[in-house]
Amino acid sequence: MACFLASAFLLVLQTYAAPTELVQAGFGITLDSMDLDPGLPVDVSGDVPSSPPPGTSKRAPHSIIIGVRKGGTRALLEMLDIHPEVAAAATEVHFFDWDENYAKGFEWYRDLMPYSYPNQITVEKTPGYFTSALAPERICAMNSSIKLLLILRDPSERVISDYTQVYFNRLENHKPVQAIENLLVRNGALNIRYKAIQRSLYDVHMRNWLRHFPLEQIHIVDGDALIRDPLPELQKVERFLNLPPRIVSSNFYFNQTKGFYCIRSDGRERCLHESKGRPHPAVNSTVLQQLRTYLQEHNRTFFRLVKRTFDWQ
């Protein structure tokens, strides 16, 4: 598919812009509602080591985890980093969906990547790419044969997780919050302009990517399955990236306290940040059913687009 489409096309596909009063927050306090994405673009060009490891170089990514937000992108990247032939970028750079970053050029983007050896592939992840109107065309312009990783969860659970993250972010910054039901419903109807819902319209965003990349270049990771049992999903990713099988079951152990799998490699054990795996709020059952019903048709359309189904409610 051609990389360069008419700019009008992109405008048509632009994600609906939610007004500032439709923002996320929390378990029932109050709200001023500004929906801020975590992980703003960071210029880390000054953090380059003075003496890189001998035989290494910085290269543009061979693969990008393009999303989805709250789908498990950080877990996927950390788990892939177990593989000796993967060099994982430490920073979300928002290169393709932030104009101020994109204007700095591909060399700036490459310089933000980790040093890697010739036998390694570099992987970058920025969850906002999936819902960006600009990212597909821009990534295609950089490398039309790049392999893309998309990790998705049940879209209704993703909405609640999205809300939960913003809720805690606002609490930590001493900002007012609001019950999730007040954001999901307005005047008795589902508030489909709420950004968290818009991000879960997987079919809308997938169409944009399929205008620039064939489906064969986009591997979809089942985020719900990754939580339950990481190894099978990671083995599929290894095959997609043409990596030799190096990730094994002993690389994971279930942390009873945290309630999810943690990583064991190179004699070390590590878990994701405490911000991961936070408990979700209880959502009014009627409101939750409204959300699921609305998403069902979008889910069916998405299944047709990607030629597979997922066990989503």
Give the phi and the psi of residue 118 in degrees, each rounded to 5.
-55, -30
Specify whether 70 is catalytic: yes
- Active-site residue (options: 58, 70, 175, 307): 70
Say whether 186 counts as a known binding-site residue.
Answer: no
Tell me which H or E stretch contains 150: strand 147-152
Q: Judge contact between 268 and 182, C-beta under 8 A.
A: no
Say whether 279 counts as a known binding-site residue.
Answer: yes
Say whether 246 counts as a known binding-site residue.
Answer: no
Which structure tokens are listed for 36? 């801020």
Say whether 205 counts as a known binding-site residue.
Answer: no
Say whether 161 counts as a known binding-site residue.
Answer: yes
Say whether 261 counts as a known binding-site residue.
Answer: yes
Q: Judge contact between 44 and 50, C-beta under 8 A.
A: no
Amino acid at 57: S
Q: Which residues 6+ apart lie within 8 Å of 6 measured at CB?
A: none
Q: Three-state DSSP class for 49? A: coil
Say whether 308 counts as a known binding-site residue.
Answer: no
Say whether 267 counts as a known binding-site residue.
Answer: no
Say whether 19 counts as a known binding-site residue.
Answer: no
Which structure tokens are listed for 287? 């409101």
Say whether 280 counts as a known binding-site residue.
Answer: yes
Rounding to the nearest 10 degrees, give the CA dihedral for residues 93, 221, 304, 202.
Answer: -40
Which structure tokens are listed for 120? 């390694």
Residues annotated in a binding site for 3'-phosphoadenylyl sulfate: 70-74, 153, 161, 261, 276-280
Binding residues: 70-74, 153, 161, 261, 276-280
Residues known to be catalytic: 70
